[in-house]
Structure 1
């Protein structure tokens, strides 16, 4: 294909030259500058525009004007009066017509080239960034869409049929923001009459009551002054894209491109949702296998250990009886945790979506850990009676268990402060101890810095990332402070 391409170009140029020669012969043999075949020059200009865009139009215009001037010079030499014997009307108007037609077709060619380049970029769509840990991993796709349309900001709003919230992604040249809002915020987003349509919005429009086209809260929240917006509707998700701060309307082609971009983003979202569902199904299968292994292996081992400790009670002296009893209580707690895990896995995702009292469960857990590690814990939960899904509670349980255990075992802490706070659909967890800190680390570290240097509590960082959140660490000789930010 690459070897044949120059041959094709040479063939096009050859045919173009033959067309020009034939047209010139027709004009020369039929009254010269007054020839009715002058119209052939216009068709040649159109052909050049279709083949080589604005470059073909302008270069062919220059060539045809030169040829026409040469024809005039030839005619003037054959006349005794010279140029005075020529008909001035075609002498002036026809070159002028060629120049005007060339400029107009050059503009058409420029528009055609821009449309072709936009379509080429649309074909080279990057697709979703599955490695990103986000509800809508579309940073590359949004950046690509903004590049196609030449806009500095892009707003994507989408929702799923069974979800009580809307997902919002605001992309700009500097960053990308992911948000969740209640299902009824921003109303119908656009007026009901424009719900399934693609349209331009200009805040200064006079002929249309533009303020009613887009929800007022939405316009004020994202400073929408001019936008091109298009909807998408797919089985798993639906939404609308807003191309913000347009440099110009762009005509019907811009509307068509916006519709194509909206559909492409919708398809990417649907692919991501399907992929997530498959990953969840695979994870549940693995959890079921692990639960079976725990039931048949670890749980039976814990039961056997409890029996041996029970027998040891009758043979132990008075001083060790209390220690053995506490050890039996720890084993009993672990048995309960394993049984709860097995039962939750057997029931599948139903229990994960069930909402439970986070306040009571966290205080109960901290009470058990306080007795287990002989450490003083101070717990603050805001707001009181905080509720969340059982899936989130399950992960918070293990975060607190691991963090508090590390504080006592490795940090030699005697007091730990635990703060759990809910704000803007995020759960903020702070764990601060009075231990010796991490000997090899001093200072503050973000989640990215911990991952880049492969330092800090790996399991806690991995669990936070799995939940779509992040962990920050601050350590000194007076203790460690962990801060988690997790979406609810």
Structure 2
């Protein structure tokens, strides 16, 4: 059925809709330019109303005051209707504020000078310049007001009816107002700069290296909070482990802590918010003593902290030397701590994704090894066996060595495939015995002597760590013989507090030191050590190459 449209019909809005519509119409624009223009117009309108209802003295200048007020009203209205297109902080706005100074000065002069009713409108200039240019605008406005007051009131001081007290009080009023408004202008400029720094806080590179991530994160936080030293402490929610980082002029100090007693001492302070100043100082002193940070000098008056908590970690950010003591500094510290907490969540996610990708790559590699390399080695072994059977007995010895090497490689590949397919944790294994067996095999394969020392001799480690150490030994031996011509290697494995230290020294020709402090070679070894979360350092270049590898225990 067709509907008829009634002409002239106005739908009735519900009371809530009318109220919302009215609020939209009366909504004040947040533009500071419009605020200044509207404030100027409102002040002039009230001045016109006041002078119309109650004419000012002296009566002889009343017409001039009316004309001047009408011109100033037209000027104010024009700026509201067609505001200038200049940037808000442009120096061209000095033109409009210069008109304000001249207009108000003339009105004050024409209407009883120091006792003029237009004097209360003079601070409008001070407010406008402060809003536009901050503390510099406050200084400019104060100088303009004092010059205007001196120009108008000087004659009033010597005309027989001195108003010195009014002159002094209004001068003091302008100076105090300029100081207070300048303070708020400086705070506004500082907050704008802080907001810009917060907005420019870019994400750190997607890396699982905690020290690289912390250097970028705490360096930006230090500039944002205007503090030279920061202490960040956080604990993993899944276990009694965590980390502590100190950022200062000397750089980053980072420590991973697995001591349960340390975290029992600091667990309450990580979740408590807010924390008293005395408690903050006590916690910082305890952290510095536990980690032996002698340069951690604490001034109780300059310490702030903020708590953060996420799905994977809970912690606290300490600002050790807070130079900014503004009341908003604590809020900024809290925002920074929350951002760091979010970055911790992102780092945990990156690591989880990296572990997942590594597992998937290991599965793919296992499948490829089983379906291609292992099968081809098996085929090659069969052909080698057939060829050896067709040869005389005295000519079989070289092929026997090759056949033994191929059989050992097949055994290792099968073991790798089996370990990769199982999801259960690998059992602990005797490192001394297994590495000694591999050292003997490498000695026969490369024709070199390998002296192995394991301390303590009965050291045990998971099968995954044994596999990684075996690969490190394989690559180091191959590099020493092929590139250095080494005939002897000394390998020493020692257990440290939180990991293992593997030292490998050969008697080869060595290498020429790199111009960089951190050479890229040997690439494969460095990549494997980095994936294990360890460090590799070249301790001697020639004669013979010596390297030190430190890896954490899983």
TM-score range, shorter chain: 0.7 to 0.9
Are residues 1:475 and 2:541 paired?
A: yes
Match of 1:72 in 2: 153
Rate the CA distance shift 1:445–1:244 in 2: closer, same or farther, 3 A. Answer: farther
SS in 2 for 1:167: strand
CA distance in 1, matches of 2:269, 2:253: 29
CA distance in 2, matches of 1:144, 1:320: 71
Q: Deviations for 1:410-435, whole angstroms, at most 9, x for unmatched residues?
A: 4443332101123242432111122x
Paired residues for 1:433-472 under 5 Å: 433-434=506-507, 436-438=508-510, 441-442=511-512, 444=513, 448-451=517-520, 456-472=521-537
Match of 2:39 in 1: none
Q: Deviations for 1:312-336, whole angstroms, at most 9, x for unmatched residues?
A: 4444434344444433332222112
Paired residues for 1:335-350 under 5 Å: 335-347=410-422
Are residues 1:367 and 2:440 paired?
A: yes
Q: Deviations for 1:20-53, whole angstroms, at most 9, x for unmatched residues?
A: 5565466445542124553333454334323321
For the 8 Å contact 1:191–1:212, the answer to whether it is kept is no
CA drift of 1:361 comes to 3.2
Rate the CA distance shift 1:481–1:244 in 2: closer, same or farther, 3 A. Answer: same
Q: 2:129 aligns with which of 40, 44, 48?
A: 48
Aligned residues between the structures: 463
CA drift of 1:92 comes to 1.3
4+ residue runs over 6 A deviation: none
CA drift of 1:18 comes to 5.8
CA drift of 1:17 comes to 4.8
Deviates more, 1:258-267 or 1:321-330: 321-330
Q: Deviations for 1:126-161, whole angstroms, at most 9, x for unmatched residues?
A: 321335844661312211111122222222222333
TM-score by length of 2: 0.74
CA distance in 1, matches of 2:523, 2:435: 22
Rate the CA distance shift 1:383–1:137 in 2: closer, same or farther, 3 A. Answer: farther
CA distance in 2, matches of 1:316, 1:155: 73
SS in 2 for 1:252: coil
Match of 1:419 in 2: 492
For the 8 Å contact 1:447–1:470, the answer to whether it is kept is no
Match of 2:315 in 1: 239
Paired residues for 1:297-316 under 5 Å: 297-316=372-391
CA distance in 1, matches of 2:270, 2:263: 13
For the 8 Å contact 1:168–1:180, the answer to whether it is kept is yes
Once superposed, what is the RMSD of the aligned Cα atoms? 3.2
Deviates more, 1:183-192 or 1:390-399: 183-192
Gaps of 5+ in 1: 77-81, 202-207
Are residues 1:216 and 2:286 paired?
A: yes
Rate the CA distance shift 1:5–1:344 in 2: closer, same or farther, 3 A. Answer: farther
Q: Deviations for 1:185-216, whole angstroms, at most 9, x for unmatched residues?
A: 53356583773325574xxxxxx566545562
For the 8 Å contact 1:383–1:422, the answer to whether it is kept is yes
TM-score by length of 1: 0.83
Rate the CA distance shift 1:131–1:412 in 2: closer, same or farther, 3 A. Answer: same
For the 8 Å contact 2:86–2:92, the answer to whether it is kept is no
Deviates more, 1:387-396 or 1:114-123: 387-396
Rate the CA distance shift 1:60–1:330 in 2: closer, same or farther, 3 A. Answer: same
Rate the CA distance shift 1:39–1:211 in 2: closer, same or farther, 3 A. Answer: same
CA distance in 2, matches of 1:328, 1:41: 102
Match of 2:87 in 1: 6
Rate the CA distance shift 1:253–1:392 in 2: closer, same or farther, 3 A. Answer: farther
Higher relative contact order (CA 8 A, sep 6+): 1
Rate the CA distance shift 1:170–1:214 in 2: closer, same or farther, 3 A. Answer: closer
Deviates more, 1:27-36 or 1:299-308: 27-36
For the 8 Å contact 1:432–1:482, the answer to whether it is kept is yes
Are residues 1:432 and 2:505 paired?
A: yes
CA drift of 1:57 comes to 1.0
CA drift of 1:398 comes to 0.8
Bigger strand share: 1
Deviates more, 1:211-220 or 1:95-104: 211-220
Q: 1:59 aligns with which of 116, 140, 147?
A: 140
CA drift of 1:485 comes to 2.8
CA distance in 2, matches of 1:292, 1:191: 46
CA distance in 2, matches of 1:409, 1:92: 93
Larger Rg over CA atoms: 2
SS in 1 for 2:213: coil
Deviates more, 1:12-21 or 1:222-231: 12-21
Gaps of 5+ in 2: 1-83
Are residues 1:393 and 2:459 paired?
A: no
CA drift of 1:15 comes to 5.8
CA distance in 2, matches of 1:427, 1:53: 59
Deviates more, 1:299-308 or 1:271-280: 271-280
Rate the CA distance shift 1:8–1:218 in 2: closer, same or farther, 3 A. Answer: closer
